[in-house]
Amino acid sequence: MSSPLEIERDLAELERVIADADRTGDHHAITRFLWRRLRLTNAEPLLARSPVPLDRIATSPTPVAEWLRIENGARFTLLERDPAERRAEQWSDRHLAQTVATLESGIRAPRGWTPLPLERALASADAWDRIVACAEILERQSDAPEHRAAIASVLDDPSVEVRRWAWLAVVRWSERDDDDSLRDAVRGGLTRDDPEVMPRIAWAAWHLGLADDAIRRIAPSLAASELAQREALQVVRWLGRRDEALRDRIEPLVESPSRDVSLDAISTLGIVAPERWTRLWSFARETTIAPARTTRRGVEVPAREMRTDRAFVAIESLRNAAPELDDEAVAVLVAHAADPALTELLAALGPRARAAVPALVARIDAAHDPESWAHDRTYQALGRIGGLEARIALMRASRTGRGVFGHHLAQLGADAVPAIAELLGESLPEPNRRVVLEVAAALGRGAEPLRELLSIELDAPSAPLRATACAALGALTVDDALAVRLASVFLACTETLPPFHRTYHLAARALAPIWAARCGHSSDLVALRCIEALGTTREYGRAHLDALRALAASQSVRGRAARSAASRIESPEPMFRPNQ
C-alpha cells in the first residue's frame, strides 16, 4: 500500500521519467515505469500526470491471461530460471492486470480517502477499502493463516470487484498448496451462481484437480460481461476440453462486437471444436488493405494487402488443433504451403505434412538471401516434418554460414544420426561443427551409434569443441573410465573457457550429475577427479553440495578435495581468468 510519502516519491520519479522520455524519445520508458509502480492507492495522482492511457499500461486487463516470460528459443536456453522467481514475476503481472481492470471499471477512491489497517479495511462498509485490502494481501504474496482467513471472509462479498480480487488470491494459493481448506472453499465456490467470478473459481479448481467440476459451471460466464467472457475462454483453453455445450456457446462469440472477445473465441474454437476447421480457415484467409504511409525517416510505404488480426489468430487456433485435424484439412493446408504465414501450422502437423516439404525447400531456394534469419522457422518446420528431403535441406543448412540452422536436425530424432555422422566426417568450420555436436547432445542416448565419432572430438584443438563433445558423451551411458576422461578434458577446457561461454554451460549441466554420483567411488582416482571437476560446475554443482559436505567432514585427501570443491561452487568470486 502506498503511503503519502511514497506517492510523492513516485510522482517525482514519474516527472523525471517523462522528462527523460521527451529528451531521448523513449516514451516506452513511461509505460515501463507505470508497469512497475502503479497501484490502486497511487493510481489517481499518477494517471492524472501520465501521458499514457490506462489501457496501454497492461498487455491485457485480464489477469487470467497466462503471461510466462519464456526464453527465446529452446536451443539458446542455457540456465533454467528459478521457478519461484518466474512465478513471482508472473503474479506481479497479474496484480497489475487486475489493478488496471479495477480502474477501467470506473472504481476510484472516495474523496478524502485514507488507508485503513488491514483488519479494519476488510470489515469496512466501503467496497474500496475491501478491494485495497485484498490487493495488498495479493501484492505481499502472503501465505499467512490470518490473511487466508481474511480473504475467505470476502469470497461472497456483495461487490463483484472485491470477489474478483479475493478469488485471484485463492488462485495463487491453490497454485502452490493443496490443503483441505482450499478445496472446501473452491468446492463451495463452484456451487455459487456467480458467472462474473466463476472463471477464477474454475481456474483454482483446475489447480486442485477439480477440472471436471469446473467445466460444467463455466458456461454461464460466456454470456456475462466482456471481462468474464474473456477469462472463461482462457480457462476453457487451459482445460482443453471438447465439450458440445461449450462449443455451441463459444461459436457465436466469434462475431462478438468486442474485438478482444471475438479473437479469444476464435483462438478457443480450434481447441473445443477442431471439426469446425473450415470456419477457422475462412478467417485465416481474411485480408485487408493497409493504407500508404510515410515513416519517420520520410520513406514512402505504399498501400498493401495484409492479413487481418482475426486471420493470424485463426492460424494460431488451427495450429493448436493440428493433432485433431482430418486428412481433408491437412490436404488444404499442404496445398498452401508456399504461404509463409502457415509455416508454424505445417510444423505442428508433423509428418502428416510431408508433402509440403518441396514447397518449403523451394521457398528457401527462391529467397534473395537463403541464409537470412527469416528462414529459421522454415528450417524448424522441416525438422518437425522430417523425411529425406527435409534431412538433406537441414544438412545443407549445417554447412552454410548460418550453420545454426542445423540445430533443427535434432527434431528428426533417430533420423538425424546418419546426418550427424556424415557431417562430422566433413571438414566443417568450427561454429558449424559445434552446432552438429550440440545436435548430438540434444539426441541424448539416441546418439549412442555416434559414440566413437564423439570420442574423437575430445581431442579437437578447440576448447569449445571439446566441451561440446563432453556434453554429447555425457548424455550417453557413462562408465567410470569415461567419467574420468570427461573430467580431465573439461578441466583442461576451463583453462580457456570463460564461465559465461555457452559450451561451458552445456557441458557442466550434462556432467555435474555424473561426477556427483562418483564422489564416493571406491577408487580414489575416480573419486578425486570427479570431485575436482564437480567443483568447476558452479551453479550446476549447487544441487550436489550435500554430497560434497558429507565427504568434507573427513580429514582424508578426499575430504580436503570435497571442501575445496564446495567452496569453489559457493564462492561468488570468478573461477576463470578474465578476457579469455
Percent of the chain past pLDDT 90, that is, above it, reads 52
The confidence score (pLDDT) of residue 371 equals 73
The confidence score (pLDDT) of residue 71 equals 35
Beta-sheet pairing, 293-294 with 300-301:
antiparallel
Mean pLDDT of 226-238: 91
The confidence score (pLDDT) of residue 107 equals 87
**Mean pLDDT taken over the chain:** 87
Confidence grade of residue 454 (pLDDT, cut at 50, 70, 90): very high
The confidence score (pLDDT) of residue 82 equals 66
Q: Which residues are CB-contacts of 64 (< 8 A; sequence separation ≥ 6)?
A: 199, 200, 203, 230, 231, 234, 235
Task: Assess contact for 171 and 193: CB atoms under 8 A.
Answer: no
Mean pLDDT of 509-526: 91
* Predicted confidence (pLDDT) per residue in 273-297, tens digit: 899 999 999 999 998 888 888 877 7
The confidence score (pLDDT) of residue 300 equals 86
Mean pLDDT of 441-464: 94
Residue 52 in grid coordinates? 499514457
Residue 27, class by beta-carbon neighbours within 10 Å (0-12 exposed, 13-18 middle, 19+ buried)?
Answer: middle
Residue 284 in grid coordinates? 485465416
The span from the CA of 253 to the CA of 453, in Å, is 58
The span from the CA of 436 to the CA of 423, in Å, is 7
The confidence score (pLDDT) of residue 220 equals 92
Residue 425 in grid coordinates? 566426417
Residue 559 in grid coordinates? 575430504
The confidence score (pLDDT) of residue 498 equals 81
Residue 374 in grid coordinates? 527469416
Indicate whether 211 pLDDT > 90: no
Indicate whether 232 pLDDT > 60: yes
Confidence grade of residue 572 (pLDDT, cut at 50, 70, 90): low
The confidence score (pLDDT) of residue 1 equals 54
The confidence score (pLDDT) of residue 137 equals 92
Residue 532, phi-psi category: left (phi > 0), alpha (psi -120 to 50), beta (remainder): alpha
Task: Assess contact for 221 and 228: CB atoms under 8 A.
Answer: yes
Task: Assess contact for 475 and 447: CB atoms under 8 A.
Answer: yes
Which of 210-219, 368-377, 503-512 is the most confident on average? 503-512
The span from the CA of 347 to the CA of 416, in Å, is 17
Residue found under cell 473452491:
186
Mean pLDDT of 45-66: 80
Indicate whether 444 pLDDT > 70: yes
Cα distance from N-terminal residue to C-terminal residue, the chain: 48
Q: What is the DSSP letter of 154?
A: T
- The DSSP line for 67-108 is -----S-GGG--SPPPHHHHHHHHHHHHHHHHHHHHHHTT--
* Predicted confidence (pLDDT) per residue in 524-548, tens digit: 889 999 999 999 988 888 888 888 8
Of all helices (H) and strands (E), which one includes residue 306? Answer: strand 304-307
What is the reported pTM? Answer: 0.81
Q: How crowded is the C-beta side of 524, counted as CA atoms within 13 Å?
A: 6
Beta-sheet pairing, 304-307 with 287-290:
antiparallel
Indicate whether 79 pLDDT > 70: no
Q: How crowded is the C-beta side of 334, counted as CA atoms within 13 Å?
A: 18
In 3D space, the residue among 142, 114, 139, 140 whose CA is nearest the CA of residue 126 turns out to be 114
Stretch among 68-82, 181-195, 479-493, 509-523 having the lowest mean pLDDT: 68-82
Mean pLDDT of 13-32: 86
Mean pLDDT of 463-478: 94
The confidence score (pLDDT) of residue 78 equals 40
The span from the CA of 160 to the CA of 154, in Å, is 10
Residue 253, class by beta-carbon neighbours within 10 Å (0-12 exposed, 13-18 middle, 19+ buried)?
Answer: buried
At residue 115, the 3 state secondary structure works out as: coil
Task: Assess contact for 514 and 483: CB atoms under 8 A.
Answer: yes
The span from the CA of 61 to the CA of 499, in Å, is 41
The confidence score (pLDDT) of residue 68 equals 42
In 3D space, the residue among 211, 199, 147 whose CA is nearest the CA of residue 173 turns out to be 147
The confidence score (pLDDT) of residue 66 equals 55
The span from the CA of 391 to the CA of 482, in Å, is 31
The span from the CA of 514 to the CA of 479, in Å, is 9
Indicate whether 574 pLDDT > 60: no
The span from the CA of 184 to the CA of 159, in Å, is 22
Task: Assess contact for 220 and 205: CB atoms under 8 A.
Answer: no
Of all helices (H) and strands (E), which one includes residue 289? Answer: strand 287-290
